[in-house]
């Protein structure tokens, strides 16, 4: 798609219509001290062909990787061509909320199907649409837990949650008076049950636990649910790698009252950090406290099935004091891609993909340990991501990986685990690439 700028005469016509002499007059409301007051440092104008050549040269400076071993919340998976083809149909390109069912049946049906599959994957009765990303979905789940336990003001969150997710939750709770976020420590890569019991009190509304957590470890939700429910609190599972649902028991079947997280792994690309696809599911009893919008199925006057916007609890729909959130944008295009991906895969295909991820992660871990450069941090179960402690210099390790054409795992030093690296393997990583990675790292001084 080419961008064709307006001609000067068209600019002048627009300014005349709105009654201003210069475009700069539109900036009068901005204080003079905050304005740039000089031209932008841009190269001289050029032809479209020259601009394209310049942009291609800049793009050529990017370093392509033959294989990626980085996860930590954004996972690289294969996307069938049908997902791009079907999702690119022009009728899907709208961010407007489908208020009018008589002209929005396609969008409403797609959202309804997406919600149905999220319910199947999480083992819970209701889910919504248009959560922005996994971190804000987790924060909304914490606020929802507080609304469901109205007389309690403390949220417990495992240190095993993604550090960025913890920061978002903290930001959401900070401006609300009387609310507190308390972190529960880890033990051997998992939420410490003793620390959890010590911090549970009559003021705790809900507890957020990773499933799998930031370090890739799979928490025992059923064991954690017992003391949490005994204290009258809710258990919230937070999943940053949704493909794990093809391998793990649904969180709703093992004690979770709410399930939140990130579903970009279903048919969506990492694309330099987005767009992401948050999800939030709950038991039926909590549906009126859900943010966003919920699509339901009904029948019209002639008995034909149809979909409608059933619950929308944002402040534009109801009184502000009763609104659960101000989620406005319709994220249905991203949910549509997940819908198409999941329907193409089906239950057996999703489980097959998950089995590949689990098997390749196990293989990669063994190869890295055999290289002599790593030692295990813990022996907790994991899905497609795991942490190992590097015997040598992490910076040198990452440099060697990039020089060999591999994107290395995440350096966990800035997050409190000095010398540790978080590795990820998906269906895109071949045995040959994993063997070659182990050879490259085995040649380093350790």
Domain of 272, CATH number, reads: 3.40.640.10
Which of 320, 342, 364 is at the close of a domain? 342
Same domain, 402 and 374: yes
Which of 342, 373, 404 is at the close of a domain? 342
Does 18 fall in a domain? no
Same domain, 308 and 360: no
Rounded Cα gap, residues 328 and 234, in angstroms: 27
Residue 177 has pLDDT above 80, yes or no: yes
Count of domains for the chain: 2
Would you state the pLDDT for residue 251?
98
Q: How many CB atoms lie within 10 A of CB 3?
A: 5
Q: What is the pLDDT of residues 118-166, one digit of tens each?
A: 999 999 999 998 888 999 999 999 999 999 999 999 999 999 999 999 9
Residue 236 has pLDDT above 60, yes or no: yes
Question: Mean pLDDT throughout 407-428?
Answer: 96
Domain of 358, CATH number, reads: 3.90.1150.10
Beta-carbon contacts of residue 424 (< 8 Å; ≥ 6 apart): 69, 70, 71, 72, 75, 216, 361, 384, 385, 409
Would you state the pLDDT for residue 129?
87
Rounded Cα gap, residues 116 and 342, in angstroms: 11
Rounded Cα gap, residues 252 and 120, in angstroms: 10
Which of 297, 313, 342 is at the close of a domain? 342
Q: What is the pLDDT of residues 84-107, one digit of tens each?
A: 999 988 777 765 667 777 778 888
Rounded Cα gap, residues 104 and 97, in angstroms: 9
Does 284 fall in a domain? yes
Rounded Cα gap, residues 144 and 126, in angstroms: 14
Does 56 fall in a domain? no
Same domain, 380 and 436: yes
Q: What is the pLDDT of residues 45-66, one digit of tens each?
A: 888 899 899 999 999 988 889 9
For the packed helices 134-148 and 163-173, what is the interaxial angle rounded to 10 degrees? 50
Residue 37 is classified by DSSP as -
CB 405 within 8 A of CB 371: no
Domain that holds residue 158: 81-342
Q: What is the pLDDT of residues 272-292, one digit of tens each?
A: 777 899 999 999 999 988 888
Same domain, 105 and 202: yes
Residue 431 has pLDDT above 90, yes or no: yes
């Amino acid at each position: 798609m080419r961008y064709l700028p307006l001609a000067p005469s068209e600019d002048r016509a627009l300014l005349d219509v709105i009654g201003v002499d210069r475009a700069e007059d539109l900036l009068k409301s901005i204080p003079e001290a905050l304005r740039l007051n000089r031209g932008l440092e841009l190269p001289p104008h050029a032809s479209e062909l020259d601009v394209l050549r310049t942009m291609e040269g800049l793009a050529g400076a990017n370093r392509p990787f033959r294989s990626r071993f980085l996860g930590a919340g954004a996972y690289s998976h294969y996307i069938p061509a049908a997902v791009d083809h079907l999702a690119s149909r022009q009728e899907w390109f709208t961010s407007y909320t489908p208020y009018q069912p008589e002209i929005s049946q396609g969008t409403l049906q797609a959202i309804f199907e997406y919600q149905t599959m999220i319910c199947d994957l999480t083992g819970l009765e209701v889910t919504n649409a248009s959560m922005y990303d996994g971190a804000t979905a987790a924060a909304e789940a914490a606020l929802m837990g507080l609304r469901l336990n109205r007389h309690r003001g403390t949220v417990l969150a495992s240190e095993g949650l993604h550090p960025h997710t913890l920061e978002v939750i903290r930001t959401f709770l900070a401006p609300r008076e009387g609310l507190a976020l308390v972190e529960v420590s880890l033990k051997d890569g998992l939420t410490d049950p003793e620390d959890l019991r010590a911090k549970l009190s009559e003021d705790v509304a809900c507890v957020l636990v990773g499933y799998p957590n930031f370090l890739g470890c799979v928490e025992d939700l059923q064991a954690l649910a017992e003391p949490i429910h005994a204290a009258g609190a809710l258990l919230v599972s937070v999943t940053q790698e949704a493909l794990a649902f093809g391998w793990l028991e649904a969180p709703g079947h093992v004690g979770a009252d709410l399930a939140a997280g990130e579903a970009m792994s279903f048919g969506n690309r990492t694309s330099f950090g987005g767009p992401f696809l948050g999800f939030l599911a709950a038991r039926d009893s909590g549906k009126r406290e859900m943010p966003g919008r919920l699509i339901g199925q009904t029948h019209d006057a002639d008995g034909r099935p149809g979909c409608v916007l059933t619950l929308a609890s944002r402040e534009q729909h109801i009184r502000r004091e009763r609104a659960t959130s101000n989620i406005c944008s319709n994220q249905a295009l991203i949910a549509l891609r997940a819908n198409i991906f999941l329907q193409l895969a089906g239950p057996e295909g999703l489980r097959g993909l998950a089995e590949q991820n689990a098997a390749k992660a196990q293989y990669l871990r063994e190869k890295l340990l055999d290289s002599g450069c790593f030692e295990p941090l813990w022996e907790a179960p994991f899905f497609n991501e795991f942490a190992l402690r590097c015997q040598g210099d992490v910076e040198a390790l990452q440099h060697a990986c990039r020089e060999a054409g591999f994107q290395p795992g995440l350096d966990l030093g800035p997050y409190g685990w000095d010398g540790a690296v978080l590795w990820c393997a998906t269906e895109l990583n071949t045995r040959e690439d994993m063997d070659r990675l182990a050879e490259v790292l085995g040649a380093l001084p350790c």
